[in-house]
């Protein structure tokens, strides 16, 4: 049996619901308390607008830092610091006794050079390790699913019980790196041929979603503010800028 998943997030439903509850409680407690104070000053509707404009403006800054870095941790700040989507990885697209040319015409040419070639053990060491790991993980997962065993069970099939006999690389017509792996179960059985490709992933997906959503929310609700609320927001922005400047000038 495969690991529990809920709503496609590959997280157990109990964990997902508890995490969602914590986020909701934090939202009500910290943002709701601010709304109560703003509603007492501006009224319920204008207090809501001030809160949401300020919140969406802060989210624009936060998601921009997540996505672009903006030297928030120094000149060498990396990008994609926030919630991450799927990581770049090798993935199995087909398994059988021979590569299928239906997926990509390059697979039908396996193992003929110059399309296919064996990897360089020095310059492509990382790719070799990644492909072998992805191949043995796929075979172990399929074996456990077929046998009805949990991946965490004591009698579960492990990745170390599979051996890789050969590995060759090529490039698809669109430039995507592809590979063919021949592997077998150490305990005996037929050799399996795995057709694989490199998936570049979608690491900035969630940061981009937050950024676009925040910009839309800010653009929709800002024109609804009245003059007094706008002056209040300008004052808040000025205070934030001053605080950021002070923080940046503090020696570390």
Residues 186-196: what's their mean pLDDT?
A: 89
Q: What is the pLDDT of residue 236?
A: 76
Share of the chain above pLDDT 90, in %: 33
The predicted pLDDT at position 9 comes to 65
At 120, list the tokens. Answer: 């360089």
Q: What are the structure tokens assigned to 33, written together?
A: 């308390």
Average pLDDT, the chain: 86
pLDDT exceeds cutoff 50 at 1:
no
Query: Can you read off the two tokens belonging to residue 12?
Result: 């157990």
Asked whether residue 59 carries a pLDDT value surpassing 80, the answer given is yes
pLDDT band at 15 (very low <50, low <70, confident <90, very high): confident
109-160: per-residue pLDDT in tens?
888 888 899 998 889 899 999 999 999 999 999 999 988 988 888 889 999 9
Average pLDDT over residues 168-174: 91
What is the torsion angle, in degrees rounded to the nearest 10, for the CA atoms of residue 62, residue 67, residue 70 and residue 76? 130
More confident residue, 191 or 102: 191
Question: φ and ψ at 94, to 5 degrees?
Answer: -165, 150
How crowded is residue 235: how many other Cβ atoms within 10 Å of its Cβ? 10
């Amino acid at each position: 049996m495969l690991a529990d998943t809920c709503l496609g997030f590959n997280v157990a439903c109990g964990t997902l619901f508890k995490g969602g509850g914590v986020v909701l409680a934090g939202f009500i407690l910290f943002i709701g308390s601010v709304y109560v104070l703003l509603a007492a000053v501006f009224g319920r509707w204008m207090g809501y607008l001030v809160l949401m404009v300020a919140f969406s403006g802060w989210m624009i800054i936060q998601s921009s830092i997540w996505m672009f870095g903006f030297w928030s941790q120094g000149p060498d700040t990396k990008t994609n610091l926030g919630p991450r989507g799927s990581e770049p990885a090798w993935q199995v697209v087909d398994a059988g006794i021979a590569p299928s040319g239906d997926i990509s015409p390059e697979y039908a040419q396996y193992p003929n050079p110059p399309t296919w070639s064996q990897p360089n053990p020095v310059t492509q060491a990382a790719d070799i390790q990644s492909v072998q790991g992805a191949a043995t993980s796929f075979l172990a997962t399929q074996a456990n699913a077929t046998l009805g065993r949990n991946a965490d069970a004591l009698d579960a099939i492990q990745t170390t019980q599979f051996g890789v006999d050969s590995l060759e690389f090529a490039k698809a017509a669109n430039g995507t790196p592809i590979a063919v792996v021949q592997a077998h179960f150490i305990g005996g059985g037929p050799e399996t041929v795995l057709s694989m490709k490199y998936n570049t992933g979608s690491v900035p997906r969630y940061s981009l979603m937050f950024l676009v959503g925040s910009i839309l929310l800010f653009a929709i609700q800002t024109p609804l503010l009245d003059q007094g609320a706008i002056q209040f927001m300008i004052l808040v922005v000025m205070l934030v800028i001053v605080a950021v400047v002070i923080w940046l000038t503090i020696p570390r």
